[in-house]
A and B are shown apart, each in its own frame.
Chain A
Amino acid sequence: MDSLIAPFLNGTADGALLLIAALGLALTFGQMGVINMAHGEFLLAGAVCAFWTQQVVASTDVSILVALPVAFVVAGLLGLVLEATILQWMYDRPLDTLLATVGVSLALQQIFLQNYPSGVPVEKPSLLDGQIDVLGYAWPLRQVFTIVLAVACLAALGALLKYSSFGRRIRATVQNRALAETLGVATRSVDRMTFFIGSGLAGIGGVAASLIGGTNSQMGTRYIILAFLVVVAGGLGQLRGTVIAAWTVGVVTAYLADWTTGSLAQVITFVLVVVFLQVRPNGLFTVRTRGLA
C-alpha cells in the first residue's frame, strides 16, 4: 500500500510546485506571448529570499511566512527589470525573447552558483516538521503546505483575471492590443504588471522549492522546461489544463522514480509529454478558430 500511496502524495506535492512555476509562465507566455527562459532562475531567487529572511527573522515559522511576500516582490521586481530593459523591445519577436532570456538565465545561474555552490541551506520550519498519516504513509507537512500554497496561488490568480478590472485589462490587451489602447487601457503598464505578477509567482514557487528538496543552480533549467511543457500540454490560456497537466506530470514522475531511478523518471516524463504533444499538439483544452493564414 505504502508503495502506491507515497508516490501519489509526493508526486502531488511536486506537481503543486510545478503548478506554481507554470502559473507564472502561463501568464507571461500564455497571455503575453513572451518566452522568459529566466523564469526558472526567478525560482532560484525565491529560494534565496527564503534563505535571507531566515538570517533576519529567527523563528523559522515566521520567516517562511515573511519570505513568501518578500520572494514575490523580489522575483516580481526582477521580472520588471527584465521587461523594461530587454523584453519590451521584442514583443514582436517571440523567438528573440527566448534567446535573450537564455542569456539572462545563464548569468543568473552563474551568480547563484558562485554564491551558493551547494544550494541555499534553508532550514525547515518547525511547524511544518511533522507528518500526517495518510493510509499508513507519514506524509510530510511541508508537502501539504506546498499544495495549499499552490491552491492559494491558483485561486488568487484565477480571481484576479476573472473578476478584477486589472484582469479585464489584461484580457483586453491580449485579445486586441490596438483596440484596448484606443479604449484607454494603458497597455504598457498592463504589460509590466502582468510580468510582475507572473515573475512574482515564480518567487513563491522558489520558497516552496527550498522547503521540499535541495536547491541547485540547475534547478531553474529543469523547472522551466517542465513548466513550459505543462503550459503547452495544458492548452494555452487554459488554467484548468495547466492544473491537470502539472498534477499529472508530478504524479507520473513520482511513480516512475519509484519504479526506476530519479534521472530515468525525468527522461521518461519528458518523452511522455513530447509524445502527448504529438497526439494533441494544442494541449488538453483548446479553442478552435478559423485557421490563420
Chain B
Amino acid sequence: MTGQDYVEVQGLTVDFDGFKANEEVDVTFLQGRIHFLIGPNGAGKTTLVDALTGLVKGTGRARYGNLDLLSLKSHQISRAGVGRTFQTATVFEELSVLQNLDIAGGVHRKAWGMLRARKGIPDYVQEAMETVGLADLRDRPAGVLAHGQKQWLEIGMLLVQDAKVMFLDETVAGMSHEERDETGELLRRIAPSRTIVVIEHDMDFVRNHADFVTVLHAGKVLAEGSVADIQGNPRVQEVYLGRNIEEVSHE
C-alpha cells in the first residue's frame, strides 16, 4: 500500500420518493483510522453505506482513488476493493468456513478454473482464517457457528477479498463482552493498511475503539471528531436526549 487511501463523500443525497434518507452528506474516511458512524435509528447510517456500495441510488460524489462509487454497480464496487458486511450476518450457511472464505477470493479466478475442484488451501485464505481465528473450525458449516463467529467470518471474507475499504454494519450487535473486545482487537490489527468504517449503536464499543466519529442525524452530518469531542458536543447530547423524549411520546 503506497500513500494514504481515502474515500471522500461530497454532497451525497439519497431520495426515496421525496423522503431524503441522506441529504448533502460530506464525510471523508481515511486509511488506518477506525471511523465510527453513529446516530439514532433512522439517521441514515445504513443508507449511507448502501449508497456507497451500490445498493441504493444516491446523487453527489463519492471519490475513491479515481472512481466515483456512486456511478458503479455493487459487484464493480466490490471488485474495486470496497467491501461491506450486513446488520444480520450473512454467511453461506450450508458451506464450510473454508468454502465461505474461498468464495470470497474467487473473483479473479479464470472461468475455467471455476469448474475444477479446489486442491489444497490458498495461502491468503489460510492467512485470513488465522487472522479472524476460525482456522480450527475450517470444515464446520457456517450455519452452526456462533453469532460472533459468523461476524468474524464475514470480516475474514473481506480480508480474503483484500478489501481496502470495509464498511461494517453493526458488527458487534448481539455479541458478548468478550466477543466485542476480541472484535475490537481484530479491527485494530487489520486497520493500519485499510479504511475501516463501523456503524455502531453500542457507545461503550465506540468509546473503546473509535479513532474518529461522525454523528448522523435525520440524514445529515451533525458532528464529527474524536470521541471526546463528540461526547462534549451539546448538539449531539440534545439529539440523543430529544430523541428519547420523542420516542416515548410516539410509542
Residues of A whose CB lies within 8 Å of any CB of B are 287-291, 293
Contact = CB atoms under 8 A, between A and B. Distances in A.
10 contacts: A288-B16, A288-B17, A289-B16, A290-B16, A290-B47, A290-B56, A291-B50, A291-B56, A293-B87, A293-B88
A167 B46 CA distance: 32
Nearest to A290: B47
- Interface SS of B by simple majority: loop
B74 to A, nearest CB: 10
A289 B87 CA distance: 17
A289 B47 CA distance: 10
B66 to A, nearest CB: 26
A117 B56 CA distance: 53
A226 to B, nearest CB: 29
Nearest to B17: A288
Contacts of A289: 16
Contacts of A288: 16-17
A290 B16 CA distance: 8
B21 A290 contact: yes
A290 B17 contact: no
Contact of A290 (B50, B86, B90): B50
B17 A293 contact: no
Nearest to B85: A293
Q: What 9 A-B pairs have minimum CB-CB distances, sorted nearest first?
A: A291-B55, A293-B86, A288-B16, A291-B56, A288-B17, A291-B50, A290-B47, A289-B16, A290-B56
A288 B88 CA distance: 21
Contacts of A287: 17
A104 B50 CA distance: 42
Interface string B47-70: 100100001100000000000000
Interface of B: 16-17, 21, 46-47, 50, 55-56, 86-88, 90
A290 B90 CA distance: 18
A193 B17 CA distance: 33
B250 to A, nearest CB: 14
Contacts of A291: 50, 55-56
Given A288-B16, A288-B17, A293-B86, 15 more contacts: A287-B17, A289-B16, A290-B16, A290-B21, A290-B46, A290-B47, A290-B50, A290-B56, A291-B50, A291-B55, A291-B56, A293-B55, A293-B87, A293-B88, A293-B90
A289 B46 CA distance: 12
Contacts of B46: 290
B251 to A, nearest CB: 10
A293 B86 CA distance: 7
A246 B185 CA distance: 59
Nearest to A291: B55
Contacts of B50: 290-291
Nearest to A292: B55
A291 B16 CA distance: 11
Contacts of B90: 293
Contacts of B16: 288-290
A178 B90 CA distance: 23
Contacts of A290: 16, 21, 46-47, 50, 56
Nearest to B84: A293
Nearest to A289: B16
A291 B47 CA distance: 8
A290 B20 CA distance: 11
Contacts of A293: 55, 86-88, 90
A287 B17 CA distance: 8
A289 B88 CA distance: 18
B140 to A, nearest CB: 24
Nearest to B49: A293
A197 to B, nearest CB: 30
B96 to A, nearest CB: 23
A213 to B, nearest CB: 41
Contacts of B87: 293
A92 to B, nearest CB: 15
A278 to B, nearest CB: 17
Contacts of B86: 293
A291 B50 CA distance: 7
A280 to B, nearest CB: 15
Counting chain A CB atoms within 10 Å of each CB, the highest count among B55, B88, B90 belongs to B55
A288 B17 CA distance: 7
